[in-house]
Chains A and B, each alone.
Chain A
């Protein structure tokens, strides 16, 4: 029957939208392995780390997340509660793996110390 088919299609679409919305809202955190979650940022105390991270952020992240990290269009803000509460290890994991289903690419091309510098910068925003 047509109405049932339409209803099913709407339900599927709704579920997908909710899934994507929840993923953009910190659902990726559930995927972070415990070992990665508890990693400490080795550059957190380095004097110039946040400034270097800010430079990298403007080069690589600002086109999607905005110069002020407030988000842009459908791309999420990085000043959100999820990012504020995320551990440095969780942010490093996200930068390394991305969240490809949601359009966030992997930044493994950047050397790990540069990813830690970005993490330091993101934490300095909170």
Chain B
């Protein structure tokens, strides 16, 4: 395998291009949540690069952290496409790449309504060592994390979500209903995610400022499994409650922090999530120009 050299003209060209694009990029406060989706779409032509990491220490298992690299692109005002690359590292075991996900979100109604639906379709190709916890479905729980890292089982799954979201007096209220199907012969699994969030100030200040309240948002997420088609319900699965704080650094990245707390014995006691994302505005246009 050849290691790219910094003298490589192709690599240099890419670094130069990123350097040219980055200073022109600006803050855009994106999704406030970690698990829940709102009806907010990526703006057409914009590219968002980000990472989401979850860390936990399951009772009876080894502590882990699972970073996810995200590349999101606004194809149209009503269509956002996103690629995730997942990995994880477990103390005393190994660090492994666990697979990829490709999601597409479609907004069928082109105007703002009291409740705004978005249809979400995702294909996942991950292995059994995945710990990214981007959603909870079926009977997912703490016990899935107790075995040693094992990549032998490949999971090719289709995930569908109905996203309902409203903006009311500065608050965002979002509800997600999740249905996931392993394309091998396994039953449909279900899950939910609910989120509520609000910026700390509804008005912007006139002066440029980093730590003014308008750059912060606070929220709360509740998410968990709903069993599968043979045993539907809130039992024998995990549920979490997680406060969230978002800080959109002016002319810089958006940073999100969220401690999550398990609500029953099936859940991890605590999860800690952190995300950093950066948006490049009108990416395609800038590429053409350079």
Surface stretch bound by A, among B21-29, B48-56, B151-159, B220-228 = B21-29
Could you say which of A55, A73, A100 contacts B204, with CB atoms under 8 Å apart? Answer: A55
Please tell me the number of chain B residues within 8 Å of chain A, measured between CB atoms. Answer: 35
Q: Is there contact, CB below 8 Å, between A105 and B43? A: yes
Q: Is there contact, CB below 8 Å, between B170 and A98? A: no
Q: Is there contact, CB below 8 Å, between B206 and A100? A: no
| Minimal beta-carbon separation of B45 from chain A (angstroms) | 8
- Check: A52 CB closer than 8 A to any chain B CB: yes
| Minimal beta-carbon separation of B37 from chain A (angstroms) | 13
Q: Is there contact, CB below 8 Å, between A114 and B203? A: yes
How many angstroms from the CA of A101 to the CA of B44 in the assembled complex? 11
Q: Which A residue sits closest to B38, measured CB to CB?
A: A109
Q: Is there contact, CB below 8 Å, between B41 and A63? A: no
Residue-wise, chain B 206-218 has the 8 Å CB interface mask toward A (1 for contact) of: 1110000010000
Could you say which of A52, A60, A101 contacts B206, with CB atoms under 8 Å apart? Answer: A52
Tell me the number of A-to-B contacts counted with CB atoms below 8 Å. 77
Residues of B within 8 A of A51 (CB): 206-207
Q: Is there contact, CB below 8 Å, between B77 and A98? A: yes
A-B contact pairs, 25 of them (CB 8 A): A52-B204, A52-B205, A52-B206, A55-B207, A55-B208, A58-B26, A64-B282, A73-B285, A98-B77, A98-B111, A100-B76, A100-B78, A100-B111, A103-B44, A103-B77, A104-B77, A105-B41, A105-B77, A106-B77, A106-B112, A109-B38, A109-B172, A112-B202, A113-B202, A117-B204
Given contacts A63-B282, A109-B167, 11 further A-B contacts (CB under 8 A): A48-B206, A55-B204, A63-B26, A64-B282, A73-B285, A98-B110, A105-B41, A105-B43, A105-B44, A112-B202, A117-B204
| Interface pairs A-B: 9 shortest CB-CB | A51-B206, A48-B206, A63-B281, A111-B202, A100-B77, A100-B110, A111-B170, A52-B204, A113-B203
- B residues bordering A, Cβ < 8 Å? 24, 26-29, 38, 40-41, 43-44, 74, 76-78, 107, 110-112, 167, 169-170, 172, 199, 202-208, 214, 250, 281-282, 285
